[in-house]
Every structure is written in C-alpha cells, then in structure tokens.
C-alpha cells in the first residue's frame, strides 16, 4: 500500500472519529501569496485559520476540552511517549500533555498530519516543521520502522541544538505514531 492509499483510508476514518470537524487531504496552508512558500500537509483537520486577524485559538481551546477529542489526543500522546520514551541518549524533551495541547496558540489548523515513508531526511525535517507550525497539534505518522527512526533522530538533533543553545525549532506539539498505531486508534486494522 502506498502512502497515498493509506491517506485515502485514514481520511474517512478520521472524519468518523471527529465528525464535527472538517478533515481535508492535501491541504494547502496559504493561498494567494506569490512570494511565500505555501506548505501542503497530507491531512489537516479544521477549523482552519486562514483569514488574517481571525485566529482560531479560542475555538481550538474549546475543542481540546471536549472529552472525546481530549481522549483521542491523549491516546496519540501516550503512543508518542511509547515510541520515543526509551531512546538511549534521548535529547527529546517530552512535555506534559496539557502543555502539548497549549503549545501552538496561533495555528492554521487544529491537527496537521504528515505521513512519511521513504523520503529524504530533508523532507522529513520539512514535514516535522510544517506539522508543528501549522497545527495546534502536529502529528507525524511513520509508515515503517525506518521512518520512525528518522523522525526520532531528527527530533533528537533538534533537542541537542536546543540543549547546546544553538538555533533550533521547537517540536513540543509534534506527536509521533506509526501507521499501524494510528490506524488502530481510528478503529481500522491494516492486516
């Protein structure tokens, strides 16, 4: 199965899990800016903050207080800890759950999801930064063990840069799960 086929399975499952929210595949974050890079994320969950001066912070705050959404995000958070928690020489700082939920106040969408398989490490870095920047919660879905290790290595590198006081990027709102974990969380077994 390709990552695109996987996305096509996940989008309706995510829509069923979060029926009050809009789920958009291949979402473009900025439109109409000819002199600005406009990232496109694999899957975005609205509401969307695309009008200048119309920040959705209060809407996102209300959403994370809804029990079924909070429980869903807590399940992703728990899997994230499982995936990176036992790394030797771990530079990744795992934030408390409530801090993760409040990290990116000026997000363009509620959830920003990137599915990664066999791309270059530079592509993984771009996916991580785009997901963390655009979503109140950024989610990386590692398609295989190699993708999972690549995400973890990059997050460790960014954590190292922070520790030694170099320029870096904060990934505190980025949660990492595997494709099987995410599918199972959405009620679909890929086997």
Length of the chain: 191
Map out the domains of the chain as residue ranges.
Answer: 3-185
Give the separation between CA 4 and CA 7, rounded to whole angstroms. 5
Residue 3 has what pLDDT?
85
pLDDT tens for 1-40 read 888 889 999 999 999 999 999 999 988 888 777 777 778 8
pLDDT tens for 100-156 read 999 999 999 999 999 999 878 888 999 999 999 999 999 999 999 999 999 999 999
Cβ neighbours, 10 Å, residue 174: 28
* Cβ density class 80-112: b for 16+ within 10 Å, e for less: beebbeeeeeebbeebeeeebbbbbeebbbbbb
Residue 132 has what pLDDT?
96
Cβ neighbours, 10 Å, residue 144: 14
Please list, in sequence order, all residues whose beta carbon lies within 8 angstroms of the beta carbon of residue 110, skipping any fewer than 6 positions away: 21, 45, 46, 47, 56, 60, 63, 135, 136, 137
- Alpha-helical runs (H) found in the chain: 3-17, 57-65, 67-84, 97-102, 121-134, 145-163, 179-185
The answer, yes or no, to whether residue 88 has pLDDT greater than 60, is: no
Please list, in sequence order, all residues whose beta carbon lies within 8 angstroms of the beta carbon of residue 172, skipping any fewer than 6 positions away: 93, 95, 99, 100, 103, 132
Kind of pairing, strands 40-45 and 23-28?
Answer: antiparallel
* Helix, strand, or coil (residue 161): helix
């Amino acid at each position: 199965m390709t990552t695109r086929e996987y996305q096509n399975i996940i989008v309706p499952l995510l829509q069923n899990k979060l029926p009050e929210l809009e789920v958009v595949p291949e979402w473009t974050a900025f439109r109409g800016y000819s002199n600005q890079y406009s990232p496109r994320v694999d899957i975005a969950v609205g509401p969307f903050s695309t009008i200048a001066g119309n920040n959705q912070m209060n809407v996102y705050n209300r959403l994370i207080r809804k029990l079924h959404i909070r429980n869903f995000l807590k399940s992703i958070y728990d899997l994230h800890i499982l995936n990176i928690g036992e790394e030797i020489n771990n530079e990744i700082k795992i934030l408390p759950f409530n801090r993760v939920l409040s990290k990116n106040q000026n997000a363009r969408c509620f959830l920003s999801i990137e599915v990664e398989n066999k791309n270059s490490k530079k592509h993984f870095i771009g996916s991580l930064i785009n997901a963390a920047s655009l979503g109140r919660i950024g989610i990386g879905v590692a398609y295989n063990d190699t993708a999972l290790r690549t995400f973890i290595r990059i997050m460790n590198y960014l954590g190292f840069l922070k520790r030694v006081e170099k320029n870096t990027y904060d990934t505190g709102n980025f949660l990492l799960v595997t494709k099987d974990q995410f599918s199972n969380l959405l009620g679909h077994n890929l086997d």
